[in-house]
Structure 1
Amino acid sequence: MPLERSVPLSVLDLASVVEGGTPAESFRRTMEMAQLAERLGYNRYWLAEHHNMSGIASSATSVVIGYVAGGTKRIRVGSGGIMLPNHAPLVIAEQFGTLESMYPGRIDLGLGRAPGSDQTTARALRRDLSMQGQEFPELLTELWAFFHPPADQYRPVRATPGEGLNVPIWLLGSSGFSAKLAGELGLPFSFASHFAPEYLMQAIHLYRSSFRPSEALSQPYVMVGVNIIAADTDEEAKRLATSQQLQFLSLIRGTPGKLKPPVDNMDQLWQPHEREALLSKFNFGAIGGKAAVEARMNEILKDTMADELIVTSQIYDHKARLRSFEIIAEAGNLQSTV
């Protein structure tokens, strides 16, 4: 069944490091994936900030964004997201001002308020552990001011490059805090439903009901994160999906590591309560062939009325991952630029 309502599709890439692989290999795969996404007609390509995780190579997020933007021509490239409390707002304004100057009209700045790490790592990042995200609005205001200083007011510290540049700011969230703030500020909002689906509908309602028009947006704009693993058959997709299930299982057990190859039978590896917890995370997503993916995407768009979907697929085999995004593009009615 073709999509009843076509929306832009985007990619969220964690620059996964597979078992037996290296970050250098991950970056090469990321570039190939981004170039394919551009040819297939995906709208944007986002990378996420995580620290102290051997299976994720995108810790220096702005650096990887520059690498991807430099290897592509049209697709928007950005952060999904930068964890703002880990950084001085001036530094982020300068970094993304630099990226926007190099790749004008193609850079997105998605912001989150979590540390993207554990407490020990947050301490190593010099983050004040007494703060629990409540300082985020103040940091966001400071960052915004570096991009948009008052014309009639002297400012002793200025972001160069950065000041006066139009870098779209998105708020990212997995709860209601950022949803409400994004609505009140009139900013686009992206919800992390790929790992927190249970709060999705509540957060979308809160965002839309809180929305106030702004310079950035005249009406709400919602993008939702979706786990989609596609293959030429349902059976193949289900097997490929076990790599991502193994990754979630390692997180639940407190033993995060590199992305593992798929297995034939997860029932031999997880306990019943772990299975229940894991499968609940995949309720908001799709695993299967093109027909199954189309049907599930239609359901998601009907339920959420999302303006855009951003897809993440943790697939061990690189060629299978590329094929997955080709199938998703077909299911999403994307127009190839090849």
Structure 2
Amino acid sequence: MKLSVLDQSPILSGMTSQDALKQTTKLAEWTDRLGYHRFWVAEHHSTESLAGSSPAILAAHLAARTERIRIGTGGVLLPHYSAYKVAESFRVLETLHPNRIDLGVGRAPGGMPNVNLALNRGSSPDIEGYPAQIEELMAYLHGQDPQGMNVYATPKGETSPPIWMLGSSGTSARLAADLGASYSFAHFINGHGGTRVVDRYKKYFSPSMQQSAPDANVSIFVVCAETDEHAEYLASSLDLALLQIEQGARRSGFPTPDEALQHSYTFFEQERIQDNRSRMIVGSPERVKQEIEELAESYQVNEIIINTIVSPFEERLRSYELLAEAFQLQKK
């Protein structure tokens, strides 16, 4: 089974955005050496807890700093941008790093509602036009002229980065199936009903110029440590962070485990933490390996994308290392 990485460039407590991007770079280099399959970076705007606002630029930096791991976006929020310009950006990346680039796309705003206005010159993005944008993007990536204007995405080349449509609902999965794109289900966002979503994607998939068969993976929060007890200690900070996000609390960074353990939780908050655990796998290498394999079996996929947010950063590196050892990934 393939293991991959989704990194949101989290800003840990007491750290800066620069620290977060340096950590993302080090993590990409580290997981490249450990034998992970992909490394995707996200797009978030106007937040003090996540530093990745421009995944295409960050992907270019990471591709230049790594050797064999696939580098991609998880993802570019396409309604904010021109499909043609996105195609050009990724044709440049593909030309620089052939067969190592993934173009993950989504349609979420990437922040609070005002982000939509800031990114779209005071207007709301055309969400209804998203399916047509995907078709246009795919055509440009494959050297076509979808608007009939004698305009092509350059630089041209023999290879094209695959489009991965990201989502956490049946709507996004059916659209990926209809358009013949790959599909990534965000279990770390929605821990319920995902197996039915991926099954419908596979059932209704239509071949496209990109691919002839469906291709799906699943992303989930994972915290792995030498013991179950230490993993639970580390995961307590993610428990609190997810709770704060749900409550709309303004945060300057992700809390530490000690800060989380000092927090006084209401009964309702404890219930929410338990429900959010459906989006996470926490434990020792043996336990985490078993649960990841069970997750892959339930989804009928052969690739799981790991999203680990723990403090301090060294524990994040160690979590990915323990997973690589448990799954016997091929180190460089």
Say whether 1:35 aligns with 2:29: yes
Q: 2:18 aligns with which of 24, 30, 39?
A: 24
2:271 aligned partner = 276
**More deviation, 13-22/138-147:** 138-147
Q: Counterparts of 1:34 and 1:215 in 2: how far apart (Å)?
A: 30
TM-score (norm 2): 0.93
**For each residue in 1:166-200, what CA deviation from the matched residue of structure 2 results, as whole angstroms up to 9, or x when unmatched?**
11111110111110111122221100001111131
| Deviation of 1:269 (Å) | 2.9
Q: Counterparts of 1:87 and 1:151 in 2: how far apart (Å)?
A: 18
2:285 aligned partner = 290
CA contact (8 A) 2:102 2:163 kept: yes
**Contiguous gaps of at least 5 residues in structure 1:** 1-6
2:206 aligned partner = 212
**For each residue in 1:18-49, what CA deviation from the matched residue of structure 2 results, as whole angstroms up to 9, or x when unmatched?**
12111111121111111110111100000001
TM-score (norm 1): 0.91
Q: Percent identity of the aligned residues?
A: 34
**For each residue in 1:283-314, what CA deviation from the matched residue of structure 2 results, as whole angstroms up to 9, or x when unmatched?**
14311111111221122122111121000011
CA contact (8 A) 2:49 2:254 kept: yes
Q: 2:323 aligns with which of 323, 328, 332?
A: 328
CA contact (8 A) 1:147 1:163 kept: no
- Runs of 4+ that moved beyond 6 A: none
1:308 aligned partner = 303
Q: Counterparts of 2:216 and 2:122 in 1: how far apart (Å)?
A: 31
**Contiguous gaps of at least 5 residues in structure 2:** none
CA distance 1:180–1:128, shift in 2 (3 Å)? farther
Give the number of aligned pairs: 331
Say whether 1:263 aligns with 2:289: no
**For each residue in 1:253-298, what CA deviation from the matched residue of structure 2 results, as whole angstroms up to 9, or x when unmatched?**
1114211111376584332222322332321431111111122112
1:88 aligned partner = 82
Q: Counterparts of 1:145 and 1:163 in 2: how far apart (Å)?
A: 13
CA distance 1:173–1:128, shift in 2 (3 Å)? farther
| Deviation of 1:165 (Å) | 4.5
2:242 aligned partner = 248
| Deviation of 1:87 (Å) | 1.0
CA contact (8 A) 2:191 2:279 kept: yes
Q: 2:136 aligns with which of 142, 152, 166?
A: 142
Q: Counterparts of 2:129 and 2:146 in 1: how far apart (Å)?
A: 27
Say whether 1:63 aligns with 2:57: yes
CA contact (8 A) 1:174 1:200 kept: yes
Q: Counterparts of 1:260 and 1:71 in 2: how far apart (Å)?
A: 29
Say whether 1:318 aligns with 2:313: yes
Say whether 1:102 aligns with 2:88: no
Q: For residue 265 of structure 2, what is the amino acid of its counterpart?
A: W
Structure 1 residue matching 2:212: 3-state secondary structure: coil
Structure 2 residue matching 1:160: 3-state secondary structure: coil
| Deviation of 1:326 (Å) | 0.7
